[in-house]
Amino acid sequence: MPQKSKKQKQMAALRREVELLRAQVKTTNNMAHEEVFQTKREVAAELVTNAKEPSFDLDFKYLSKDIRKTAILTGMCLLIIFTLYFTESRWMNLL
């Protein structure tokens, strides 16, 4: 194998240093993230303990109005579709 030049050796040393520095930064960042996660866990646990029971009161008046509106719109759409289907021979001649 050919020998490395002085410049290549310096570059390799610098690469090793950069990798060490990256590893150090990563470990310090992980420690900071762990602290943040711990505080988030504490807040989440507090929210769970202070959570209210869900209310299952249904407004039947609103539900019946919504279902009626949906049924009327569905009926109108079906009426339009059937009308177009049965009058196809008339309006196809116009095109």
Q: How confident is the model at residue 71 (pLDDT cuts 50, 70, 90)?
A: very high
pLDDT on residue 57? 74
Tell me the domain boundaries of the chain. Answer: 6-94
DSSP letter (8 states) at residue 44: H
56 by DSSP, 3-state: which? Answer: coil
DSSP H helices in the chain: 6-49, 60-86, 88-94
pLDDT per residue as tens digits for the range 83-94: 999 988 787 777
The chain-wide mean pLDDT, for the chain, equals 80
pLDDT on residue 36? 60
